[in-house]
Amino acid sequence: MSGSGLVLVSHGSHGLAELADGERLECVFRRSVGRPLCGDRVEIAQIENQSAVVTAIEPRRNEFVRAGARGNKQAIAANLDQVLVVVAPTPEPSRDLLERYLVAVHSLGIRPVIVLNKAECLTTAELMHDSPLRRLDEYRELGYPLLTTSCKEAPGIAALPPTLEAQTSILVGQSGVGKSSLVNALLPDLELQTGALSRVTGKGTHTTTTTVMYTLPCGGRLIDSPGVWEYGLWPMTQQEIADGFRDFGAFQGHCRFNDCRHAGEPGCAIREAVDAGKIRKWRYQSYTRLLQQAAA
């Protein structure tokens, strides 16, 4: 038997793939082929009396990446339509966390969506004076979709299914922001879906250490990724960081110098736009901090 499949979970040298007819099959990954990512389309061959084997990985539309322990690129999922960045009043995101996510998602060519979870806590939380949660309306004005959710009370999760429908999405965010609660609320058959996955990961029916793809009732696919305390960027060029600030777009290419870093050079169109109030000052300050971190 041979055919194509969709990788639902990739764990070491093996994983679980879904075939075109809906059958789920445990697969072995050949070292010569490479390790597929969750969301990869693959070719599978099943030899009689032996495990199914992934024989090829189809070209990817994109990858979702984060920085590994050594700062290198670490891909965790493939072929996404959108990245849902989940933030919450507790734990409160650090000053530039949301900017790092948005810069990363833009550089990867994927659509970002901001999700404010635990919305019921926002009015009582003691936020830092420069907290990104104080600027949610400004993110919306910049064109970022912003969804508000709560797994305990109003507004609930009603905003999520219309956004997730017929899309392949990944949930990312800090540990503790409630991603697992959102997954539970979105998937009434979670126990059924995780049964087969747990046999592959060996971590029981609920795991927060492996990237897993689920099928949504609305017809989309949802990838849940392990939470991280502080999302880090891999080494990026100055241009990649600047391109991650969509409000810079209209002014890029108009600086006096072609190699302008927008960090204090004379004749900088970005700096002039900040001074004229056409780019928000806090966004520019976040850009310069990311630039400094990339050079460190």
pLDDT of residue 49: 66
What pLDDT is attached to residue 189? Answer: 81
pTM of the entire predicted model:
0.92
Q: Which residues are 27's β-sheet partners? A: 15, 52
Residue 40 corresponds to which amino acid? D
pLDDT score for 11:
84
* Ramachandran angles phi, psi of 242, nearest 5°: -60, -40
The CATH code for residues 238-295 is: 1.10.40.50
- Can you give the residue ranges of every domain in the chain? 2-57, 63-224, 238-295
Question: Which helix (H) or strand (E) covers residue 11, if one does?
Answer: strand 2-11
Which ranges of 165-251 would DSSP assign to H, the alpha helix? 179-186, 190-201, 238-243
Distances (CA, A) of 76 to 63, 68, 105, 172, 278: 7, 10, 13, 11, 36
Kindly report the number of other CB atoms within 10 A of residue 127's CB atom: 13
In this structure, what DSSP letter does residue 22 have? Answer: S
List of the chain residues with pLDDT < 70: 1, 48-50, 196-209
CATH topology of domain 63-224: Rossmann fold (3.40.50)
pLDDT in tens, 161-177: 999 999 999 999 999 99
Residue 13: what pLDDT?
86
Q: CA 266, CA 256: separation in Å to the nearest integer?
A: 7
Give me the architecture of the 2-57 domain, per CATH. Answer: Beta Barrel (2.40)
